[in-house]
Structure 1
Amino acid sequence: AAGVLFEARERGLSVPEDLSITGFDDTQIASRVWPSLTTARQPIAGMAETATTLLIERLNGEPAESPERPFECELIIRESTTSHA
């Protein structure tokens, strides 16, 4: 998303007035660029823990369960998005 923000500026577009930009993973750069990027934050630690548990279970020969696990993401609203009514 930071690359899109840079390219928008290069093309003379104003963020968020002309273009809203949303990123993913809420990396450190999201809050350090201007305008700061709206982003989705995933529960990475919980996802890693679940993946590790499933891997260990399979390595131990335990029956494979469905790999589908719902995780809640959080939308972090910052300056790169606006409502375009």
Structure 2
Amino acid sequence: MKPSTLILRLRSIWIMSSWLRHEALAAAAMVVRRREQNLKRLEYEQKLEAEVGQVGVDSEGKLRIVRVMDDYIIPAECGF
């Protein structure tokens, strides 16, 4: 028995709609992932802003803990 044109048309519509559902799901997942990455980056930037003046770089490029006193930056190892 040969399938009718209506059945063939419905089958192609069903295949296309399932493909569109899959694409919509993939796009939604990418949006959620991008939002999570933006939130993590925002939290990281806020954390860095809160720690301004606490970490510095020495002449060798290593991170050092520093204290900011007026116009001078003094390494934490140099206590008064």
Shared fold, TM over 0.5: no
Q: Which structure has the larger Rg?
A: 2
TM-score interval w.r.t. the shorter chain?
Answer: under 0.3
Larger RCO: 1 or 2 (CA < 8 Å, sep 6+): 1
TM-score, structure 1 length as denominator? Answer: 0.25
Q: Which has the higher strand share?
A: 2
Higher normalized helix content (fraction of residues): 2
